[in-house]
A and B are shown apart, each in its own frame.
Chain A
Amino acid sequence: MNSTTLLAFDALLLISTVSLAWASLASSDERRGVILFMAFGLLLAMAWSRLQAPDVALAEAAIGAGLSGALLLSAVRREPVGLSRTGAEPVQNHEKTDYRMTLRWTVTLLCAAFTATLGWAYLSALSFGPHDGLPRAIAANLEASGVSNPVTAVLLNFRAWDTLLELAVLLTAALGILALGKESPAYQPAGVVFEGLIRWLVPLLILTAGYLLWVGAHAPGGAFQAGATLAAAGVVLRLAGRHRIGLPAGIRLRVLMAAGVGVFLLVGLVLMLAGRSFLGYPPALASLLILVIETAAMLAIAATLVLAFAGGRPQTDVLANTAVKLEASTASGPGPARPAGSGGTSNDCIPEKKAC
C-alpha cells in the first residue's frame, strides 16, 4: 500500500475514532452512549492492528469493546432512571445556574490546557528519537523465555510480577462485587432461534478460547483474550436466561476466582524453594509453567468477568427470580453476610431466603 493511501486511512480512522469518543460522551441517551462506546472500541481495535499490535487489538475487541460494553449496557438495562440521578436536582435560582456555567467553562478550559500540555509532552518525548534498548534486550532473551511471542514473554516471564499483581487487582474487584450484593434478576428464557444460536455459539466460543490460550505462546493471543472469549460464552448463556451460566456455586466459585493469583504465587514460591528467584523459571520448564499459569489465569478472568456481568453473588438456582422478589419485600437494609450460594439445592433455597 502506498503512503498516501495509508495516510488517508489513518486520517479517516482517527477522525472517526475521536468523533465517536465525543459522540458517545455527548449523547444524552445513556444506551446510545454505550453503543457508540462499543463502536469506538472496535475502531480502536482496528487502529491497534494498524500499529502492529495484534495482541492488544484482540484484547480491545474482546474486553474493551465487548465485555465493558456488555457490562455498561446491562447497567443501563437495570437502572432506567436510577443511575442518571446524580446531581440532577432541578436548579432553582439564577445564582446556581451562573455558578454551574462558570464551573463548566473553567473545567473545559483546564481540560483543553491539559490536552495541549499532554500533546506537547508527547511530541517532545518522541523527539528523543527511536528507542530500541528494551526491544533489543527482549529479542536477545526471547529464546530463553519459553515462548516466542514477545508480548507473552514480557507478560508472563520478564515482567511476570506485573501480571501477578494485575490478577490480584482482578480478584479484588471480584471480591468487591461479591460483597456488594446479590446478582441482578435473570433474563427471560431464550426463544427458539436464540436457543438454536447458543447451541452453536457457546461451544465455538469455548473452542476459540482454548485456541487463543494455546496459540498465545507463539502468535497473538494469550490468557486475557482467551479469558474474555470464555466469559463471552457465559454472557451469552446469561442473556439466554440460563441461570447458572456455567459458574460453580459457593466455595468452588471462590477457588476458581482465586485460581489465577493462587497458581501464579504457588509457581513462584515453589521456584524459590528450588533455589531460584521468585518466578525465575528454569528455561527448560518455562513454556510448561507459563501454560499452567495462563490456564489458571484464563479460568479466573472468565469467572470474574461473568460474575461482573451477573452483577453480584450468584443465587443458587432457577427459583432465584422469586427469591429476589421475596428478598425485596422482606429485607430493607443490606442482608447479613450469608455465605453465597451455600451449595444448597432448590429445596432449601426458599426458607433460606426468607430467613434473611
Chain B
Amino acid sequence: MLTAQWLYGLAGCLVTGIGLGNALLGSSLLKRVLAINVMGAGVFMMLIAVAYRGPDLAPDPVPHALVLTGIVVAVSATALALALARRLDREQDDG
C-alpha cells in the first residue's frame, strides 16, 4: 500500500464527511449546494487516490475518466440547483 494512496484517500473521506454534515445542516440553499460540491470533491479525491499506482507505474485511467465525468455532472447539477433556488426565491417574493 502506497503512503500517498492512503493519505489522499483518507483526506478524501474527511472532506466527504465535512461536506455531508454541512449539506444536512446548512443554513441556506447556497451553502447546501456548496457543501454538496465539497462532498463530491471528497469522493473524487478517493477515486484519484485509488487510481494512483506509484511513481513508476502509469495510473489507472478508468477512475480518471469517472472523475472527469463526475466533475461535469457536478457542475450541471450545481447550475440546475442554483436556477431552481433562484426560481424558488422569486416565487416567494411574489407570493
Contact = CB atoms under 8 A, between A and B. Distances in A.
A52 B21 CA distance: 30
A59 interface: yes
Nearest to A87: B27
A139 to B, nearest CB: 8
Contacts of B19: 21, 25
A223 to B, nearest CB: 9
A60 B38 contact: no
A53 B76 contact: no
A312 to B, nearest CB: 7
Interface in A94-147: 104, 107-108, 111-112, 114-115, 118-119, 122-123, 125-127, 130-132, 134-135, 138-139
Interface residues of A, number: 95
Given A10-B4, A53-B59, A88 B28 contact: yes
Contacts of A18: 11, 14-15, 18
Nearest to B73: A169
A134 B79 CA distance: 33
Interface string B55-78: 001111110111111011111111
Contacts of B3: 7, 10
A115 B65 contact: no
Interface string A40-53: 11001001101111
Nearest to A52: B59
Contacts of B29: 83, 86
Interface secondary structure of A, over-half rule: helix
Contact of A154 (B42, B52, B62, B84): B62
Interface string A58-97: 0110011001100110011011001111111000000000
4 closest A-B pairs by CB: A115-B17, A308-B79, A173-B76, A150-B61
A181 interface: yes
Interface in A6-50: 6-7, 10-11, 14, 17-18, 21-22, 24-25, 30, 33-34, 37, 40-41, 44, 47-48, 50
A276 interface: no
Contact of B89 (A55, A72, A82, A134): A82
A155 interface: yes
A173 B38 contact: no
A151 interface: yes
